[in-house]
Amino acid sequence: MTVSAFPTAAGVPRHAARRGIWPRLLPGGLLLLGVFSAALGLKGFLLPNSFIDGGVTGIALMASQLTGLPLSLLILLINIPFIVLGFYQLGRRFALKTLLTILALAGALLVVSFPPLTHDKLLIAVFGGFFLGAGSGLAMRGGSVLDGTEILAVYLTHKLPASVGDIVLIINVLIFGVAAWLLSVETALYSILAYLAAAKTVDFILVGIEEYTGLTIISHHSTEIRRTITEKLHRGATVYECTQGFGSHGKRHLKMEAVFTIITRLEVVELTEEIQKIDPQAFVFMQSISDIKGGLVKKRALHQ
C-alpha cells in the first residue's frame, strides 16, 4: 500500500484530503497577495506622488491628499456603506470576505512602508496602476473586492436603465473631473493613465491567457475537423447543418456542416493550422466569448 492510500482519521484518503484543502487555501492566498500588491501600488507609487485612481480607492486617495487623514482609515470608512450594500446584494459570505480584505489592506497601508522606486511620473502612473489592478484582480479571484464601486454599480443597474460598465464609467468620470478641479489637470491626466493600467491588469488577471474564443468552421471536411477538435485538443464541438448561400446567380445551394467550438486563445493558432491542413478552403470566423457555463470548457469561479 502506498503512502497516499492511507486513510485519514475521518476515513478519507490523504491525497483526497489534500485536494480538498487546496481549494480552501487558494482563495486566502490570492487575497493576501492581492492586498500586498494593492498596498505596493498605493503606498509605493500613487500616494507619494499625489496620483489617484478610479472608484472608492480614488476618492480615498483624493480625500487623503486634501485632508491629510491616513489613507488606511479613509479606505476603510468609505468602503463600509458599500460592504453593507454588498451584504444585501451578494450575500453575507461575500460581504464578510470583503470586509476582512479591506481591513487587511488598511492594516498593510498602516504598517508596511515602501521605498521610492522611481520619480518618473509616467512609470509611477503605469506601474502604480498595474500593482493596484493586480491587487484588485487577485482579490476578485479570491472571492472578494478591494473597491466598492462595482457593488454600487450592480445595485444601480436595478434602478437605472444602464449597465454596470456604464455606471462605473460615469462614477470615474466624475471622480477624475473633481480631481482636475481640486488637484490639477496634470494630476488628473496621470491618474486616468493609472486607472487604465489598473483596469487592463484586472481584465488580464480575471480573463488572462485563458481568454476564450468561439470558432465556427464551415467545410466539406467537417468530420475530420471535429475529430481534430475532440481528439487532439480535447475540446467539445457542436456540428450543425447549414446551406451554402453563394454561387452562380444564387443557384448553388449546397448542404454543408458547420462545426462550432470554444477554445482558449493559446489554442487558436494550433487549431487554425490543423484546419488548413485538412481543408485549405474552409471558411473560419472567430468571436470573443465573454461568459461560458457547462460543457467541456471549465469556467473559473470568481467568488469562492
Q: What share of the chain is helix, strand, coil (3-state, %, to 5)?
A: 65, 10, 25
Q: How many domains does the chain have?
A: 2
Give pLDDT, residue 234.
Answer: 85
Mean pLDDT is highest, among 32-46, 89-103, 106-120, 242-256, for 32-46
Q: 10 Å Cβ neighbour count for 284?
A: 17
pTM for this entry: 0.73
Give pLDDT, residue 247.
Answer: 58
Task: Tell me how far apart the alpha carbons of residues 23 and 20 are, in angstroms, rounded to a whole number.
Answer: 6
Torsion of CA 108, 112, 117, 121, to 10 degrees: 50
Residues 171 and 254 in one domain: no
Whether 2 is in a domain gets the answer no
Residues 164 and 275 in one domain: no
Q: In CATH, what number is assigned to the domain containing residue 238?
A: 3.30.70.120
Residues 31 and 132 in one domain: yes
* Domain end call among 155, 181, 206: 206
Residues 120 and 190 in one domain: yes
Q: Is the pLDDT of residue 253 over 90?
A: no
Residues 50 and 106 in one domain: yes
> In the structure grid, which three cell numbers stand for residue 155, read together?
445595485
49-53, 73-77, 269-273, 286-290: least confident range: 286-290
For residue 240, the 8-state DSSP code is E
Residues 165 and 273 in one domain: no
For residue 178, the 8-state DSSP code is H
Whether 303 is in a domain gets the answer no
Residues 135 and 258 in one domain: no
Domain that holds residue 200: 14-206
Whether 117 is in a domain gets the answer yes
Q: Where are the beta strands (DSSP E) in the chain?
A: 212-219, 238-243, 255-264, 283-288
Whether 295 is in a domain gets the answer no
Which residues is 286 bridged to in the sheet?
A: 215
Whether 202 is in a domain gets the answer yes
* Domain end call among 206, 221, 241: 206
Specify the 3-state DSSP secondary structure of 260. Answer: strand
> In the structure grid, which three cell numbers stand for residue 300, read together?
473559473
In this predicted model, what pLDDT tens digit does every residue of 83-122 receive, in sequence order? 999 998 888 988 999 999 999 999 999 999 888 888 899 9
Residue in the block written with cell 521605498: 115
Whether 4 is in a domain gets the answer no
In this predicted model, what pLDDT tens digit does every residue of 140-187 receive, in sequence order? 888 888 988 888 887 887 788 877 678 888 999 999 999 999 999 999
Angle at 98 between CA 300 and CA 163, to 5 degrees: 65
Q: Is the pLDDT of residue 263 over 90?
A: no
Whether 218 is in a domain gets the answer yes
Residues 123 and 219 in one domain: no
Q: What average pLDDT does range 61-72 have in this prediction? A: 93
Please report how the helices 71-90 and 149-157 are oriented relative to each other, as an axis angle in degrees rounded to 10: 30
Specify the 3-state DSSP secondary structure of 217. Answer: strand
Whether 56 is in a domain gets the answer yes
Instruction: Name 182's Cβ contacts closer than 8 Å, sequence gap at least 6.
Output: 62, 66
160-164, 268-272, 273-277: least confident range: 160-164
